[in-house]
């Protein structure tokens, strides 16, 4: 059984259709890369999966199932705890590193100080940030570098113990070293989590993902094992895109 199963999904912002009749499955424990040029609906797909589109006042058709249960039946806070998202631009909340990480878990249950200590340490270690910040957990998170902030955002999502982690171009503003650190983190975390990685960087998709989906103008053009898709794409548009002939 697939972790996430999307059936005939369409998403509209007012009259503009951002996703057109998408059906795809995400398997448990895989990294699924979603690639495609701007305006292809990649981000909309992520925003549909944790129902973040609702705050954009978009509307949706079709069904999305998480462990074979419709996400529209789940309480919204439970859904968003189970499917975490990391945005392109790291946004740290005002307040300390510690407070950033405990923000999510505290929304869902009461935590003692030692619970928080443990949770913060575990999340930061998983995100490969612990060694860099362990001395200054009480300091404001806004003093961290861009790459550190992005790993803090990952830690913040991990602290929720999600099942699926969606990343929306997580390395777009980062230098190669920070990017490498985040990719290494993803590969380590793959054992426990399912990833959906939206990326503009086809090389990144090739490096880390198991399967890749190519979106174009709101349509799913092609999906398959990353190796297959990058070596012998079926659709000509996929071929053009991964060769960089697009646009």
Contact set with other proteins (CB under 8 A) = 50, 52, 55, 76-81, 84-85, 87, 89, 91, 93-95, 103-104, 107-108, 140, 142, 156-157, 160
For residues 56 and 235, which CB has a smaller minimum distance to other proteins in the complex? 56
C-beta closer to other proteins: residue 165 or 220: 165
CB count, 10 Å around CB of 221? Answer: 18
Cβ distance 152 to 92 under 8 Å? yes
CB of 150 to other proteins, least distance (A): 13
Residue-wise DSSP of 199-213:
-S-HHHHHHH-SEEE
Q: Which of 185, 230, 195, 245 lies closest to 33, judged by CA?
A: 195
C-alpha span between 212 and 33 (Å, rounded): 5
Task: Give min distance, CB of 201 to other proteins, in A.
Answer: 22
Nearer to other proteins, 58 or 221 (CB): 58
CA–chain centroid gap for 30, Å, is: 13
Name the minimum Å distance from CB 155 to other proteins.
12
CB of 144 to other proteins, least distance (A): 13
Q: Looking up tokens 């869902």, which residue turns up?
A: 108
Task: Output the smallest distance, CB 104 to other proteins, in A.
Answer: 4
User: Which conformational region is residue 67 in: left (phi greater than 0), alpha (psi within -120 to 50 degrees), or beta?
Assistant: left
Nearest approach, Cβ of residue 125 and other proteins (Å):
20
> Mapping DSSP to helix (H, G, I), strand (E, B) and coil, where does residue 83 land?
strand
Closest to other proteins by CB, 148 vs 202, is: 148
Please give the Cα distance from 168 to 171 (Å, whole number): 9
Which lies closer to other proteins via its Cβ, residue 94 or residue 247? Answer: 94
For the bound state, the minimum distance from the C-beta of residue 200 to other proteins, rounded and expressed in Å, comes to 19
State the Cα–Cα distance between residues 205 and 212, nearest whole angstrom.
7
Burial label for 94, CB within 10 Å (0-12, 13-18, 19+), is: exposed
- Closest to other proteins by CB, 40 or 50: 50
**Closest to other proteins by CB, 107 or 187:** 107
């Amino acid at each position: 059984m697939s972790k996430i199963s999307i059936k005939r999904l369409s998403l509209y912002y007012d009259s503009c259709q951002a996703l057109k009749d998408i059906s795809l499955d995400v398997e448990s424990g895989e990294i699924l890369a979603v690639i495609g040029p701007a305006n292809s609906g990649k981000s909309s797909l992520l925003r549909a999966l944790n129902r973040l589109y609702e705050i954009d006042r978009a509307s949706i058709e079709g069904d999305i199932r998480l462990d074979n249960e419709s996400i529209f039946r789940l309480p919204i806070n439970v859904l968003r705890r189970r499917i975490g998202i990391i945005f392109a631009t790291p946004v740290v909340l005002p307040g300390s590193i510690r407070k950033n990480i405990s923000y999510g878990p505290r929304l869902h249950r009461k935590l003692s100080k030692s619970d928080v200590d443990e949770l913060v340490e575990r999340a930061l270690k998983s995100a490969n940030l612990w060694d860099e910040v362990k001395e200054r957990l009480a300091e404001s998170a806004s003093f961290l570098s861009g790459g550190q902030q992005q790993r803090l955002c990952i830690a913040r999502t991990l602290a929720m113990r999600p099942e699926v982690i969606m990343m929306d171009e997580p390395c777009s503003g980062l230098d190669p070293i920070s990017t490498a650190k985040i990719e290494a983190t993803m590969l380590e975390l793959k054992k426990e989590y399912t990833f959906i990685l939206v990326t503009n960087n086809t090389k990144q998709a090739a490096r880390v993902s198991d399967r890749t989906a190519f979106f174009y103008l709101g349509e799913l053009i092609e999906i398959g094992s990353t190796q297959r898709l990058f070596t012998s794409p079926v659709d000509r548009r996929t071929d053009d895109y991964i060769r960089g002939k697009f646009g």
